[in-house]
A and B are shown apart, each in its own frame.
Chain A
């Protein structure tokens, strides 16, 4: 653990990622305290105003403060991220562990289901699921969660296969430890490293997917201050008011970037064998 923290702390980029992420997290948690204006409050007197000391990021076509909407937008992004990644993490890892541990026909069935889910481009599958379920925040979290299940499934299954013949697993089996206990207490903690890395990276994917689907009008409800919705509405006015299209996208990019560099840093710190960039 000490070595992990040392390696992580030494990685300046990953540390920067963590700091940016914390800023977004604080924004999401304390949005009502930090936002200078009500994000829903329309004000015809200041429609499409350029960034100024009153409105740091300017205002939109209804006179709503863009900075306040971005601050509240971080709540949507994090909420969708946490719940959708939670869904894929729980279902994917469970399926992966069961498939890897039991093998045989169960493994075959689960792996083929994963293969079929992998046969669709992720954003495309999420789009189709949203089309079927209908536009709402809950459905969006379900759609994104479902799409990323096979990634966690494959990682967990692969990791289980690499350790399931280990002596300590054999020993636990030989003294009659229950399979569920073996999976939860002996296997799960030992396959956590790649899962933690994937979870971090998946937050970035989920934020991007939320913004993309909302941008297409198939994500959260139209009145919700999501970065994707803001960008979708802002692009129609960008010839007159560039700030409408620039700041929401910039926020999404920074949030995704922070998860990506944090994920890379965690990968390096947790398991140097998994390194993406070899120094």
Chain B
């Protein structure tokens, strides 16, 4: 087991190096450079030269990369050109919002999608199955930014049940926090829930056909026991992989959802960095999001190896 985990971590290292190279050099592809963007209309060559020297931008790119990556290892992602705040500090400040959004979307998906998928498979070709399949198809097709917009239109503007945007910390006012987070998390989690529901349904159908299920049935195992202990437990193994992948997509989707619902999370910070052409902050956000994505995938692989006895080390 430990050998597998070590191997998996070692495989992630070149990927992380690749990510850092992409994050660093992608920003360098921007026409002009960060100083041109920073000075904007006030651009003058003398001041630009001074700033380039100050930020080390006059040195060879490879040298710049190594300076940057050494600082990253020390936990220093640089400073925002616009706010002068440390990039890591800005990200950490915003992280709880994105994290809560992801966790809530994840919980909605798990607690609604898995039971719905399992029920649909047990009542194959029933009205429930057709409804679940339709919802699944709709869920994977409906763009989350439109779903979010419709939620605001119906539940905020017409019915007035939920606020259309903003954020209050959970520790400050839990009830208000949940009211603020309800619509964004459902809008973000809908597609993930749909994927998970479809996967649970097809995986359950596959498992229900297996001989050991017939055997358990023949031995007189109760229906409830059969479904929970024998069928669902095994059917959930591929679902966990899908859930892991989808967690990463929640991270990507949060950029749009945070913008629509004015949530002060990492996604909106990334968008702000793009709008302001704040390249140091943008670079930090890219590195952070990709790092988060790789970490989630790594954890999923490890969990998968732990729960799936078929995986050999």
Could you tell me which A residues sit within 8 Å of B by CB distance?
A: 112-113, 115-116, 119-124, 127-129, 131-134, 204, 208, 211-212, 215-216, 218, 231, 235, 238-239, 242, 245-246, 249-250, 252-253, 256-257, 260-261, 275-279
Contacts and interface: CB of A to CB of B under 8 A. Distances in A.
Given A116-B18, A216-B271, A249-B143, A260 B252 contact: no
Question: How many residues of B sit at the interface, in one of the four size bands?
Answer: 35 or more
Contacts, number: 132
Nearest to B208: A278
Nearest to B250: A121
26 contacts: A116-B15, A119-B297, A120-B22, A120-B252, A121-B249, A124-B286, A127-B271, A129-B26, A132-B26, A132-B30, A134-B31, A212-B145, A215-B256, A231-B146, A235-B260, A239-B153, A239-B157, A249-B149, A260-B137, A260-B140, A261-B137, A276-B202, A277-B133, A277-B201, A277-B205, A278-B206
B143 A119 contact: no
A253 B141 contact: yes
A129 B27 CA distance: 9
A129 B29 CA distance: 10
Nearest to B147: A249
A183 B279 CA distance: 42
Given A119-B15, A131-B282, A257-B137, A252 B143 contact: yes
Given A115-B15, A239-B157, A124 B141 contact: no
A245 B133 contact: no
Residue of A121, A122, A127, A215 most packed against chain B (CB within 10 A): A121
B22 A116 contact: yes
Interface stretch (B44-52, B67-75, B211-219, B287-295): B287-295
B259 interface: yes
Nearest to A255: B141
Given A121-B289, A249-B150, A253-B138, 17 more contacts: A112-B15, A112-B18, A119-B19, A119-B297, A124-B251, A128-B286, A131-B282, A208-B143, A212-B145, A231-B145, A231-B146, A231-B149, A238-B153, A246-B150, A253-B143, A256-B141, A276-B202
Nearest to B29: A132
Interface in B271-313: 271, 274, 282, 286, 289-290, 293-294, 297
B60 interface: no
B242 to A, nearest CB: 11
A134 B18 CA distance: 23
A132 B27 contact: yes
A116 B19 contact: yes
B264 interface: no
B107 interface: no
A234 to B, nearest CB: 8
Nearest to B153: A238
Nearest to A251: B146
B163 to A, nearest CB: 14
A11 to B, nearest CB: 13
Contact of A235 (B137, B149, B252): B149
Interface string B144-182: 011001101100010000000000000000000000000
B115 interface: no
A252 B141 CA distance: 9
> What 5 pairs across the A-B complex have the smallest Cβ distances?
A121-B252, A249-B146, A116-B18, A257-B141, A124-B252
A131 B274 CA distance: 6
Given A121-B289, A278-B202, A113 B141 contact: no
B153 A123 contact: no
A116 to B, nearest CB: 3
A63 B30 CA distance: 37
A50 B124 CA distance: 43
Nearest to B201: A277
Contacts of A246: 150, 153
A127 B31 CA distance: 16
A113 B150 CA distance: 39
A124 B289 contact: yes
A128 B137 contact: no
B106 to A, nearest CB: 15
B248 interface: yes
B121 to A, nearest CB: 9
B237 interface: no
A153 B30 CA distance: 27
A211 B27 contact: no
B30 A119 contact: no
Nearest to A123: B252
B256 A123 contact: yes
B253 interface: yes
Nearest to A122: B252
A113 B29 CA distance: 18
